Structure 1
Amino acid sequence: MKTIYTTSVTAKGGRNGNVKSENGILDLEVRMPKALGGANDDFTNPEMLFAAGYSACFDSALNLIISKSKIETGETTVNAKVSIGQIENGGYGLAAELEVNIPGVSLEEAQTLTEKAHQICPYSNATRNNMEVKLTVTNS
């Protein structure tokens, strides 16, 4: 891989601590969600941060594909649902579902554009064959 950009974020305190980027723009308290034994769901958590990154990155990849295809669409949205669970070896794993909406094109065209974006998105490439990623496509 030819590196284009690198950033750095430091975590202190794990799931009940703080994450801070090298430039200080990202500086968040993170807490264990209630479902994992935390007190409440009032803070961000690693799965939420992963979902934010994946959805933003996938939407950018999707818009790049749309632009290169010279197709007119409405404004796209990508909702990422990220789940954590126990895997066979006793460790933990992640799964994701991307709900992709591309208005202004046929459902078939929306599915084709989504599949093409899934091939170039860095998050999709990083997760491929490492975790389940389900794509749900709509066009309204």
Structure 2
Amino acid sequence: MNEVTIRPLTREDRPQWDVLWQAYLTFYEQTLPQEVTDGLFERLLGEGGHFALVAERGGKLTGLVHSLPHASTWSLAPTCYLEDLFVDAGQRGTGTGRKLIEAVYEAAETLGCTNVYWHTHDHNSTARRLYDRIGLLSKFVRYDKRRWEEAR
């Protein structure tokens, strides 16, 4: 079996990235307007802000990760939010997810970030088995408020 390679996302990756992105959204039972997906892809290729890495095996993309370095109120150094991580179902358990996260760690360190953090659904037990080995479970609870929803 070919070894997995982690590399930056390129414009030529768009068709295969779309397949992975849609599978990721399906996993989390989400749909997005096409203009949001198009805007995200352009942002991922732009300078500054988000960055994206992909896993490639045998010429086929098998995973993606999107991250956002940003300033922190608790440090003079930036921190990095690992926003999206997805590995094709047929490639899970091969070390691809770990390699993608470790590549984010390296990129964040190069950017001067002192921390990498991420969220996942509590029911995502497959991913959490990996996360429990390579990260520290936070004691924080997340709250959301979208502008079109009323707080209860």
TM-score under structure 1 normalisation? Answer: 0.35
TM-score under structure 2 normalisation? Answer: 0.33
Larger-gyration structure (1/2)? 1
